Structure 1
C-alpha cells in the first residue's frame, strides 16, 4: 500500500459533510433524463446519509429535461439549444421535471429533498451569501438533501457560474463541506486525453494540484468546453485551497460511490493543500469574475509574495479596465504574470491618479481617504485558480 493510498483512506474516514456534483453526461441521454441514473444516484446518496454523512447535491440536467418535455408535449424536438434564451426557456420547463424525478427517487428511501436555485450575482453580496449559508445549514440540520442548480432563467450571463463544477466548488464554502465528489463520464483523470491517446494513464492520486499545468494537460481551457476536465480540475484546485479534497470518479453505468468513498481505488483523489485559505477569502476570490487588472512593479510583487503585505498605491505601475470601488481585480506583474486577485479599495479612475504615489500624498490628490491600501492583504488571494 502506497502513502497516497493511505492518504486517501485517512481523509475519507473523516468525512462528515459532502458536496456531490453530477453533470448532464451522467444524468441524461440524447432523449433526455436517464431515469435509471437518477434512481441509482438517489439510492447511493441516501445510503451515504444513512451513514451519518450530510449530503448536498449539485445537479445539472434541467435543460435536457426541458428539451425532453418540449418534445413530448409539442413534438418540436431539437437536440440542443445554443442561444441563451432557448437554454433558459428549456431550463425553466425542465427544472420542475428534474426536481419531481429527484423527489420521487429519494422518497423511495424515505428522504426529503429541497430545491435550491443560486445565481452568482446572488452570492456576490456577503449578506446574501451568509443568508444562503444559514438556509442550507437548517436544511441539513433537518436531514433534508438540498438539490442545487444555477437559476438559469434569471442569469444574465451565459451562464453566470459557467458550469456546475464552478458552482459545486462555491458550495463547499457555502456549507462548510469536507469532501467534493465530482461524478463524471470519465473514469477519473488521465495524463492525456484517453479518447485520442490509447496509451493514456490514469492518475489515481494528485498530491499537489497547484503544481500541475492543467490548461496544457487539458489541451487548453477553451477547447474542452463547459463542464470538461479542465473545469473539473480547476474546481478541484479551488477546493484544495479551501482544505477540501476532491474525488473525481465515474458516475456512468453501475457506479459505486460508496466503495469510492470507502477508499477503494476508483477515479482520482485530489489532496488538499497544506496551507489553506479562509471561507471568507475563498468567497472573495471566486464570487465573481475579475473586472480589471492592477499591474505592479517588481518591488511590490516581491513584497506581496514574500512578506504578505497589502498592496499600496506606490507599487502600482498601471491600471487596466474600468471598475468601481470594491471590484474584484487581477493583480499582475509588468511581465504579465498573474499574482492573484483582490478587492480594490479604489476605482480604476482613482487608482490612475494615485498609482506610484506615497500614502502621504493620497489626501492631497483625492481628498480625505478611508484607506491607505489599494488592496488590503485580508481582501487578497495570491495564486488564485481563475
Structure 2
C-alpha cells in the first residue's frame, strides 16, 4: 500500500515543467488538474499543502524571454511578474473546486530563525484548520541566494518538517528514482521502495534538472532525507501519470517511495533533545508538572511559578520542578519578559496583560518533549 494512503497531512511539490507547459507560461489545464485532485483529497478529510514551482517560468513568458536569464536582478524581476499569474491561476481553479486557497511566500531564513519558524508554522496550521489549501513558493523576489542556490524540492521538505506532514509527494517529469541514469544505462531499474537517507540513493541520483526548472533527481533524494528527519516519508513520482495523487491516496504504488526509518514522534523528540540549545527555563508547580510529565499535556502559564534566562519566542527552554529536576524541554511561545508577566495567570488573561495572544499555552504539547 502506498504511504500516501495512510497519510492525513500531505505536502505536494510540483515542478515547473508540470505547471508551465514546459516553460510556455502557466498551464491552466495542468493547474486545473492539480486543483481537482487536491480538492478531492480534501473532501476525504486530508490536509493539503501545495509547494509549486513555476513563477520564474511564467514571468519569462510574460516578459517575452525565451531563455532563463543569468543576471540576479532579472531572475528576481521574472519571479515578481510570474508570481502574479501563478497564484491567480491556483486561486481561480481551486475556487472552482469549492476550495479556499492562500499564498505563502517563504525563504529558508524564515525556517531557520526560530521565532519566524513558529510564526510560519502557526499560520500554516491555522490555514489547514480552516480547510484552506496553502500554495507555497520561495520568496525569490527579495532573497538573493534562494534563486542562486535554492530549489523547491528542499523547500517542500522544510515545509513537511514545519507542519509535521505524514508524507511529502514530489511530482516530476520522471517516473521516479532509477538505479542509474536510464538514458545512459539500459539496465537501469526503477527503485520502488528504499530507506530515505540511504547513501546509495545519492550515488544513484544525478544529472541536472530540466531547462525550465533547476532541480534534479539528487535534490529530490536529498529532500527525502531531510523530510525523514522529522518522520515524513517521501514519494517521487511522475506528474504525467493520470490522477497520480488520487491513485497514490487510493493505495496504488507509483514511483519511488523513500521511507522514513524513524516514526514521526520519535524523530521530533530526537530533534528537540539533540539539536537545540537551551536558552532558559521555567519552574512549574506540582499540578502542572503532573500534567506535563505524566499526561503529556501542554504547559499553561497558570502552572509556571518562575522564569529563568533571557529567551525569545521560539527558543528551547527547560521545564523544571521546584527542586530543580528537569522534566521536559520545549519551544516557548513567549519571550522571557512576556513569560514573567503571564506566569501564574490563566490563559484567558494573556490578552489583557500583554495586549495580544501568541498562543494560549506557554509550550504546546506538540512542541514539548518529556524527559
Assess same fold via TM > 0.5. Answer: yes
Matched, 1:52 2:45: yes
Aligned to 1:23: 15
Q: Is the 8 A contact 1:184 1:249 kept in 2?
A: yes
Relative to structure 1, is the Cα distance of residues 48 and 285 closer, same or farther in structure 2, using a 3 angstrom cutoff? farther
Tell me by how many angstroms 1:191 deviates. Answer: 0.6
How many pairs does the alignment contain? 272
- Separation of aligned partners in 2, 1:285 and 1:193: 36
Equivalent of 2:198, from 211, 230, 248? 211
Aligned to 1:278: 268
Relative to structure 1, is the Cα distance of residues 25 and 285 closer, same or farther in structure 2, using a 3 angstrom cutoff? farther
Relative to structure 1, is the Cα distance of residues 253 and 213 closer, same or farther in structure 2, using a 3 angstrom cutoff? closer
Matched, 1:153 2:146: no
Question: What is the SS of the residue equivalent to 1:19?
Answer: strand
Question: What is the SS of the residue equivalent to 2:124?
Answer: helix
Residues 373-384 of structure 1 correspond to what in structure 2 (within 5 A)? none
Equivalent of 2:178, from 190, 195, 205? 190
**Gaps in structure 1 of 5+ consecutive residues:** 1-7, 72-76, 287-386
Q: Is the 8 A contact 2:175 2:237 kept in 1?
A: yes
Tell me by how many angstroms 1:195 deviates. Answer: 1.9
- Separation of aligned partners in 2, 1:239 and 1:187: 20
- Separation of aligned partners in 2, 1:154 and 1:56: 23
- Separation of aligned partners in 1, 2:94 and 2:80: 22
Q: CA RMSD, aligned part only?
A: 2.7
Question: What is the SS of the residue equivalent to 2:12?
Answer: strand
Q: Is the 8 A contact 1:46 1:111 kept in 2?
A: yes
- TM-score normalised by L of structure 1: 0.65
Tell me by how many angstroms 1:123 deviates. Answer: 2.4
- Separation of aligned partners in 1, 2:150 and 2:189: 29
Q: Is the 8 A contact 1:119 1:161 kept in 2?
A: no
Question: What is the SS of the residue equivalent to 2:221?
Answer: helix
Deviations 1:15-44 (A, max 9, x none): 111100011121122322222211111111
Matched, 1:131 2:124: no
Tell me by how many angstroms 1:151 deviates. Answer: 0.4
Matched, 1:171 2:159: yes
Q: Is the 8 A contact 2:9 2:46 kept in 1?
A: yes
Q: Is the 8 A contact 1:242 1:279 kept in 2?
A: no
Relative to structure 1, is the Cα distance of residues 192 and 13 closer, same or farther in structure 2, using a 3 angstrom cutoff? same
Tell me by how many angstroms 1:93 deviates. Answer: 0.3
